[in-house]
């Protein structure tokens, strides 16, 4: 048991820098678990997934320095705001109808996502599921 714990700790130390490159919580969990399992087996997968999720959640999809620029970009575009009656949070699924989704410009490095404006706030959305993956403040 101690050997597994030590292996998991080593996996966290090794994987922490790798996990910072994952995009958001879902990407961080997935990548952390995969890399942790490779480095330390099942225990490494659990620890790597948890660390990757935390790091991914802190890093977000857009980098810290990109958020203000992207927010300014969206404001300049003057996109209409969709009025959403539910709690606006990461993980919420937006309706298929009535919401306009827009491509994220390539310079922001989030081509696989779309953005929209909901209740006056910019959000990044996973296009297949329409799930909010980041609220850009």
Over the stretch 6-37, which tens digit does the pLDDT of each residue have? 454 444 444 444 333 344 555 566 666 677 67
Question: How long, in residues, is the chain?
Answer: 137
Pairwise CA distance, residues 14 & 125, whole Å:
30
Share the mean pLDDT of the chain: 78
CB neighbourhood size of 8 (10 A): 22
Pairwise CA distance, residues 74 & 68, whole Å:
10
pTM tops 0.85, yes or no: no
CA-based nearest residue to 53, from 112, 132, 133, 109: 133
Phi, psi of 105 (to 5 degrees): -60, 145
């Amino acid at each position: 048991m101690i050997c597994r714990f030590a292996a998991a700790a080593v996996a966290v130390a090794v994987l922490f820098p790798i996990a910072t490159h994952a995009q958001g919580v879902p990407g961080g969990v997935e990548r952390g678990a995969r890399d942790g399992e490779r480095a330390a087996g099942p225990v490494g997968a659990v620890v790597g997934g948890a660390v990757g999720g935390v790091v991914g959640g802190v890093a977000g999809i857009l980098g810290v320095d990109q958020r203000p620029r992207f927010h300014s970009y969206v404001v300049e575009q003057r996109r209409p705001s969709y009025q959403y009656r539910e709690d606006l949070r990461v993980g919420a699924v937006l309706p298929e109808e009535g919401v306009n989704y827009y491509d994220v410009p390539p310079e922001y490095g989030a081509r696989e996502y779309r953005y929209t404006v909901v209740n006056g706030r910019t959000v990044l959305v996973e296009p297949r599921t329409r799930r909010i993956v980041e609220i850009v403040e």
